[in-house]
Structure 1
Amino acid sequence: MLYFAYGSNMNPERMKGRNINFSSRKFAKLIDYKLVFNKKSKYGDFTFANIVKSNNDYVEGALYEFPDIDIIHLDNEEGYPNQYDKKLVQVTDLENNLIEATTYIANKEKIVNALKPKKEYLYHLLAGRDILTDEYYAQLSKTETCD
């Protein structure tokens, strides 16, 4: 299956630690969405990444390919279906090919706009530097944290 990661799962080491046996990981872009940090953590007063519809914006991330059975591990880690829902989205690769992939979007009742992510969490997103554009990485690295 194909999975689009825009948050901490951009870190390939994190994915390996979650028992995801991916065969490929590459750049992908989701058009008309933007990255926000509004998914309330169940562990404290901080947030995780989420995406929302937003015309003329885009989200860069990692497009993973892995066996269908491995989605069970991700569903467990992401708290599906309670914390996040799954959605099929159309992403583009570096050659502008349109690719259908699964991603997670926070459930509305889990959204809060007054909090920020932790530095430790942001580190996992920044670990995607090898596949992100310099511009997007620079913008991401300026994200304010709660600590």
Structure 2
Amino acid sequence: MKNIAHHYFAYGSNMNLMQMQQRCLNPKVLGIARLPGYRVEFYGYSAIWDGGQETVVTDLDSEVWGVLYELQFSDREQLDFYVDARFDGTGQYFHYPLDVIDSEQRAIDAVIYKKDKGGEETSPSAEYLSFIIQGAKEQGLPEGYIALLQNRITKPAAYAVPLVRKSKFSYMNISCGDCGE
């Protein structure tokens, strides 16, 4: 059986290559890309980062920059676990297919993780937004877009973040003795 690769467009914390390498066995960076007609907003609450979680919302006058990855099916399943994307619709995010524009101005079929429920906008923690910006800089996103991220309103986390998730799949380097199996 042939492995089928999927294109995944990361616009949040998964722009950090080190995090992606801890979450997936073989994430392949294809380069930076942009998603026209959307902007990044923060909704809900992440206990891991003590603040809002990113998603994209329609805005015809904006564009979202991020990283285009090629993932094998097993990596995509693993990533679904981390971002809490479930096929039964009970997770924090769902798969959202769309076209992104790569550096050669080609439209590429990709999937993003999008929040199912918006509700009220919630500020991200300063630490979380800093982590997202670190990934944006690491991947070489345009300076103007990074400046937009840097100008977002944040709040300081009330505790040390990221909060380590006790799981055998945790990306925070927990030993097997912490798996709780």
TM-score for both structures, normalised by structure 1: 0.90
> Do 1:40 and 1:112's aligned partners in 2 also have CA atoms closer than 8 Å?
no
Letter in 2 for 1:121: Y
Q: Quote the Cα distance in structure 2 between the aligned partners of 1:57 and 1:91.
A: 13
Aligned residue number for residue 73 of structure 1: 78
What fraction of aligned residue pairs are identical, expressed as a percent?
Answer: 31
Asked if 1:128 corresponds to 2:136, the answer is yes
Unaligned runs of 5+ in 1: none
Query: Which sits farther off after the overlay, 38-47 or 59-68?
Result: 38-47
Q: Quote the Cα distance in structure 1 between the aligned partners of 2:92 and 2:153.
A: 23
Query: Which sits farther off after the overlay, 28-37 or 13-22?
Result: 13-22
Q: 1:101 Cα deviation (Å)?
A: 0.4
Q: 1:123 Cα deviation (Å)?
A: 2.2
Q: 1:44 Cα deviation (Å)?
A: 7.7
Asked if 1:32 corresponds to 2:37, the answer is yes
Aligned in 2, Cα 1:67/1:44: closer, same or farther, shift over 3 Å?
Answer: closer
Runs of 4+ off more than 6 Å: none
Aligned in 2, Cα 1:55/1:20: closer, same or farther, shift over 3 Å?
Answer: farther
Q: Quote the Cα distance in structure 2 between the aligned partners of 1:102 and 1:93.
A: 14
State the Cα RMSD in Å. Answer: 1.7
TM-score for both structures, normalised by structure 2: 0.74
Look up the SS of the partner of 2:80 in the other structure: helix
Aligned residue number for residue 142 of structure 1: 151
Which one scores higher on RCO, CA 8 angstroms, separation ≥ 6?
A: 1
> Do 1:115 and 1:146's aligned partners in 2 also have CA atoms closer than 8 Å?
no
Equivalences, count: 145
> Do 1:9 and 1:124's aligned partners in 2 also have CA atoms closer than 8 Å?
no
Aligned in 2, Cα 1:66/1:122: closer, same or farther, shift over 3 Å?
Answer: same
Q: 1:20 Cα deviation (Å)?
A: 4.3
Larger Rg: 2
Aligned residue number for residue 126 of structure 2: 119
Aligned residue number for residue 55 of structure 1: 60
